[in-house]
Chains A and B, each alone.
Chain A
Amino acid sequence: DAGITQSPRYKITETGRQVTLMCHQTWSHSYMFWYRQDLGHGLRLIYYSAAADITDKGEVPDGYVVSRSKTENFPLTLESATRSQTSVYFCASSESLGHGYTFGSGTRLTVV
């Protein structure tokens, strides 16, 4: 199916564990983004990527690692999850920074 898909939809993990959130888009968009959304903070940019093997930090990158070996995939890894990383994570893609972003349905992550 065309579009942008995130997996898993829901995830519960324990403090200290590594967890990877997946994001896949079928449009061959150059840009991909990861945001987190928390009550009281709204949507905040974690990392973004302009192309395969090109990534850059956003507003809140600490504790996260990204990679982009293929244009269509942009996984987000929490190397050692903390409770403060409990959040809803949204992936997005865009043809360019100036175009509209298309967001995925989100992953609700709970760290216990």
Chain B
Amino acid sequence: DAKTTQPTSMDCAEGRAANLPCNHSTISGNEYVYWYRQIHSQGPQYIIHGLKNNETNEMASLIITEDRKSSTLILPHATLRDTAVYYCIVRAGYSTLTFGKGTMLLVSP
């Protein structure tokens, strides 16, 4: 699976959009970009995934660059409950999930 690079931590004001970047310059054509988050003391939670088109669901939007070498997870109106570690994972559909260190997002009032 391709390696990903994420900032260690980010801050966001409540109500503002949180934009979490992820670099995956070695991504292969058959690899998807997945995002999970882990709120303190809870199990990881699936957020969204995509191959090359932008994706949106009730939780977030995923923007993948045209060359697929990077992506951004967007939480349109961050709340305090969005404070969590966010993991960007690149993998083919036939491989298991491997978690990196992720980005600690702190949403403040």
Contact = CB atoms under 8 A, between A and B. Distances in A.
Contact of B42 (A98, A101, A106): A106
Contacts of B95: 97
A103 B93 contact: no
Contact of A98 (B32, B46, B101): B32
Given A100-B46, A104-B43, A42 B32 contact: no
Contacts of B98: 45, 59
Contacts of A90: 43-44
A48 B44 CA distance: 16
Contacts of A100: 34, 46, 49
State which size class the interface on B falls in: 20 to 34
A45 B43 contact: no
B45 interface: yes
A33 interface: yes
* Residues of B contacting A: mostly: loop
Contacts of B97: 33, 45, 101
A54 interface: no
Contacts, number: 45
A24 B100 CA distance: 26
A103 to B, nearest CB: 3
A105 B43 contact: yes
Given A97-B95, A100-B34, A42 B46 contact: no
A102 B96 contact: no
Contacts of A97: 93-96
B62 to A, nearest CB: 13
6 contacts: A42-B100, A44-B99, A96-B93, A97-B95, A101-B44, A106-B42
Interface of A: 33, 35, 42-45, 48, 58-59, 90, 92, 96-98, 100-106
